[in-house]
Chain A
Amino acid sequence: MLDTIVSAFALIGRLDGDVLSIAALSLRVSVCAVLCGGLIGVPLGALVAVVRMPGRGAVIAVLNAFMGLPAVVVGLVVYLLLSRSGPLGAAGLLFTPSAMIIAQTILITPLMAALTRQLVEDADRELGEQLRSLRLTATQRARILAFDARFSLAVVVLAAFGRAVSEVGAVLVVGGNIAGHTRTMTTAISLETQKGDLPLALALGFVLIAIVLAVNAAASGLRWHAMRAYG
C-alpha cells in the first residue's frame, strides 16, 4: 500500500507525456461539455424560474430527477444515437472526443438547469416584482436575474465540471477508451486498476484531484474578488 503511494508520487514527479495528454483531453472534453451544458442549461433554468405556465411543476420535477442521471445510461443512449446504424450514425462521431462531449453535455445540462432554476427563483423572490414593474419581458427578467445570481451560478458551473470530469461511464461507453485518442483520466484509471498497475492508477487519480482542486481554487478566487466588488 505504502509502496504503491510512494511509486505513485514518483510517477507524478516524472509526469510523462502520456499522462499530460490524457489530462489535457479530460480537461478539454469536460470544459467543452460545461460550456455547452451552460449555454443550454443556464438559460433554460432561468426561463423556467420566471415563466408561469401550465406544466411548469412537471418540467421542474423532470429537471430535478435528471440531475442524477446515471452516466453510463447517458453513455448508452448516446451510443445508440451515434452508432453506425443509429439515427446520427452518418456523422461518424462514435469513439471520438466529440461523442464524449455530447454525452457529458447531456449528463450535466439537467444539473445546470435545475440548479440555475433554484437560484434564479430565489433571486426572483427578491427582485421579480421590481423587474415586472419595469415592464420587462420574461426573457429579459430571466437574463437579469441570472446575471444577479452570477456568483452563485459560478458554483453551478463548478459542480457541473466536477461531475463531468469525474464520471467514467459515459466517456467509456461512447469514447471507447482508445489510447491516445479517447482515453481520459477516469477511463485510464479504471483501466490501469484492472491491469493491476496500481501506482499508475493512483498517480492519475492524484492528477485528477489536482485538476479539480485547481479549477475550484481559481474559480473561488475569481468569485471572491467579484463578490467583494459587488456585495
Chain B
Amino acid sequence: MSAILPIVLDNLSARLGGRPVLDGLNATLSRPNVTAVIGPNGAGKSVLLRVVDGLVPADGGAVRFGLRPTQSVRRALVFQKPALVRASVARNVGLALIPARLGSSEVRDRVEAALRKVGLADRAGDPAGKLSGGEQQRLALARAAVTEPELLLLDEPTANLDPGATEEIEELVAAMARAGTKVVLVSHNLGQVARIADDVLVLWKGRAVEHGAVDRVLANPRTPEARAYINGELPWTSFAAVS
C-alpha cells in the first residue's frame, strides 16, 4: 500500500449546531512524524480531528491521504477524555480489534503486546475503571495502537496528567511516530509541542492561519493570530528556552 502522505486538507468546512466550525481550512501535511495542531479554545481543533478520522462528515471540501482511498487508511482517534467500557483493561483494548476479525489467540497476543508497550501488561485483568487518569490515558493509547494505525489522531492526550505521566505519554507517542505512524496531536501545551512535534498547524476560527516547522512557528509566528495565541500561551522566559 502506498503512503498516506501528503495528507491534504482541502478547503474543509463543517457546520455544527448551525454555525461554521471549520471554515475553508486548507493545509498539506507532508512530513512523517508528529504534526501539532494548536489554537485557542473553540478554534475547531477537535472537530478537525473528528473530520479527519471520518466520524464527522465535512460539509465541504475533502481530506485526501496521498493516493489512497480514504476508507483504506487505518486511522485511530484518542479522545481527550478516555472513553472506557466497564470491562477489563484487556477487553477494552480488544474492542479495537473486533472489526479485524482475527482469531482469539492472535487477538490475545496483539492485546498483550499493545499493553506491554504502554506498561500496563500486568494490569490486563483489572477493571479499566480502576486505573488512574494517566493509566487510563495510556490504555486509550494502547487501544489506538493495537490496530497498528497509519494515522494516529490525539486530542490533548495529556491535558489532565501530571508531569511524569505526561512524559510517559510523550515518549510513547514519539516512539510510535519513529516506528512509522503519522501522528496529529492537538495540544495546548506548547512545551510538549516543542518536544515532540515536527511541524505546527495553527487554527483560528476554523481556518488554518499558519503552518510551518515547529521551531520557526513557535519562535517566530508570522500571522497576528498565531502570534497572539503563542505569546499568550507561552511566557517569554520559557518561550526563549524553546527557541
Contact = CB atoms under 8 A, between A and B. Distances in A.
Contacts of B98: 134, 136, 140
B77 A230 contact: no
Tell me the interface secondary structure of chain A in the complex.
Answer: helix
A229 B85 contact: no
A195 interface: no
Interface in A126-154: 126-127, 129-137, 140, 144, 147-148, 150-151
Interface string A147-190: 11011000000000000000000000000000000000000000
Interface string B81-107: 001011100000001101100000000
A130 B86 contact: no
Contact of A136 (B55, B83, B87, B99): B99
Contacts, number: 48
Contacts of A140: 98-99
B86 A148 contact: yes
A231 interface: yes
Determine which residue in B76, B86, B127 has the highest number of CB atoms from chain A within 10 A of its CB, and name it. Answer: B86
B210 interface: no
B55 A129 contact: yes
Please tell me the size bucket of the interface on A. Answer: 20 to 34
B55 A231 contact: no
A140 to B, nearest CB: 6
B130 interface: yes
B79 interface: yes
B24 to A, nearest CB: 25
B87 A133 contact: no
A34 to B, nearest CB: 23
A144 B85 contact: yes
A143 to B, nearest CB: 10
B79 A148 contact: no
B99 A127 contact: no
A176 B85 CA distance: 47
B50 to A, nearest CB: 8
Contact of A147 (B76, B85, B99, B130): B85
Contact of B86 (A129, A132, A135, A231): A231
A147 B91 CA distance: 12
Interface of B: 50, 53, 55, 76-77, 79, 83, 85-87, 95-96, 98-99, 127, 129-130, 143, 147
Nearest first, the 5 A-B pairs at minimum CB distance are A231-B129, A130-B83, A230-B127, A230-B86, A133-B77
Given A130-B83, A133-B76, A140-B99, 6 more contacts: A134-B99, A134-B143, A135-B99, A147-B85, A148-B87, A230-B87
